[in-house]
Amino acid sequence: MTSAGLILNDVRLAIGGRTLFDGLCLCIAPGEIVTLMGESGSGKSSLIAYICGSLDTEFDVRGSVTLDGQDMGPLPIERRRIGVMFQDDVLFAHMSVGENLAFAVPPGVTRSERQTRVNDALVEADLDGFAARNPATLSGGQKARVALMRALLAEPRAMLLDEPFSRLDATLRERVRNFAFSTIKRRNIPALLVTHDRQDKSDHVITL
């Protein structure tokens, strides 16, 4: 079996003596999107936190997470290079759209190259000319696209999607979901989407 991609091996999460799930195994290849479904309280968001390295220490955890063959367990959150897209866009209100995007570009990039990457991201998100806009003036769908591009500008090796479309109306949710899926696939990044919405279908669907 190849080690490329995001692999969860025999993961168990429990808290306060209650097991949320046990024996979870996933292998997500580069460019593949797997949807993990479950009701509220089933441990979906806790799993996201575990993978990216922000899970509270009160949880009892077993199993392992590897990304491209590297064990994520010993690494702090900032070294895992795992992007996350949440329900809320979490854009910085005191920054313009362009500044939000520029903030995510890795250090060591020249100012002109940083600006080029920001402009390219806006074009890809169909938001050309929005760099100076205040995030508060954007629609829900526009905010979601900016949030996705900001996560991708950080050059993640994997993406985690924590019900990022749930606050959008049905028509907009489908459009933003299609944009997110196609963009992630073009970048050839393994992605895990956790949701309770059965419309959020991807390459594979697993239920907790």
The domains found in the chain, sorted by start residue, are 1-81+156-208 (3.40.50.300), 93-155 (no CATH)
pLDDT value for 2: 58
> Contact, 101 vs 153, CB < 8 A?
yes
Average pLDDT rounded to a whole number, residues 64-78: 95
Band (pLDDT 50/70/90 cuts) for residue 97 is very high
- Percent of the chain's residues with pLDDT above 90: 80
Band (pLDDT 50/70/90 cuts) for residue 105 is very high
Q: What is the pLDDT of residues 118-156, one digit of tens each?
A: 999 999 999 999 999 999 999 999 999 999 999 999 999
Nearest-CA neighbor of 123 among 107, 103, 146, 91? Answer: 146
Number of residues that make up the chain: 208
Q: Is the pLDDT of residue 171 over 90?
A: no
Nearest-CA neighbor of 140 among 105, 111, 164? Answer: 164
Q: What is the pTM of this model?
A: 0.91
> Contact, 101 vs 118, CB < 8 A?
yes
Nearest-CA neighbor of 58 among 10, 25, 23, 13? Answer: 13
DSSP 136: G
Nearest-CA neighbor of 152 among 125, 182, 184? Answer: 184
Average pLDDT rounded to a whole number, residues 65-84: 95
Backbone φ, ψ for residue 207 (5° rounding):
-115, 130
Q: Is the pLDDT of residue 54 over 70?
A: yes
Residue that wins the pLDDT comparison between 89 and 164: 164
Residue that wins the pLDDT comparison between 25 and 4: 25
Average pLDDT rounded to a whole number, residues 97-112: 96
Q: Is the pLDDT of residue 201 over 90?
A: no
